[in-house]
Amino acid sequence: MRRQAPAAARNRQPILEVLQPEFPDDGLVLEIASGTGEHTVHFAAALPHLLFQPSDPDADARASIDDWTRTLGLANVQPAVALDAAAADWPLAAADAIVCINMVHISPWTATVGLFRGAAARLPPRGLLYLYGPYHRGGRPTAPSNAAFDHDLRARNPAWGIRNLEDVCQLAAEQGFTPPRIVDMPANNLSLLFRRH
C-alpha cells in the first residue's frame, strides 16, 4: 500500500534542514495533507524526540502513510487521521507545530483559509506553521516552469493554482500570524515559516 512520490524523495531532506532548527524541543507535530507519508516518516526518523501526527482526507493516502510507518518501525508516528483542512472541525485539539507541504496550490482556496484558521486555534503562542510549495510574487510567476505548472493545475481543476504570496501572507495576518520567514528552496519552491502571535 506504500506510495512513492518522486518530488518527496527530492525535497524531503532540504525541507528537514529548514525545519530542524525551527521545531520545538518536544511535543506533537501535525502534518496536514501528508499524501504518501514519505515526508512524515523521513522527519520522524531524524527527530525521534518529536511525536508526529500525519493526516490526509484520502483513505488510500492514509493507508500508504501507515504502511510506511509500520515498515520503518517508527514508534513516534501516530496512525494517520482523516482531516480536511477546509473543515470547521479537526480531529485533534492542539499541536505544537503544524507542517503543510504542497497542498496550497493543489486544493481550493477554502483549504488554505481553513488551514490558517485551524492552525490559529491549535498552536501555542509562537507555534510554527510551515508551508512549502511554489508561489507567485507580485502576481507574477517566479519562473517559467511555475507559470507552466500553474496553467496545468488550473486546466485540471479551476479551483487549483499557484497562489500569490501576498494573498497568503494577508490571510496569515488576519488569523494572527507573523509575517513569514521565507527560504528559497530547490525547483523554484519556497519555505514559509509563520509564527502564531
- pLDDT tens, 96-142? 999 999 999 999 999 999 999 999 999 999 999 999 999 999 999 98
Taking only the tens place, the pLDDT of each residue in 168-194 is: 999 999 999 999 999 999 999 999 999
**What's the whole-model pTM score?**
0.97
Domains of the chain: 6-190 (3.40.50.150)
**Among the listed residues 101, 99, 119, 47, the one whose alpha carbon sits nearest the alpha carbon of residue 77:** 47
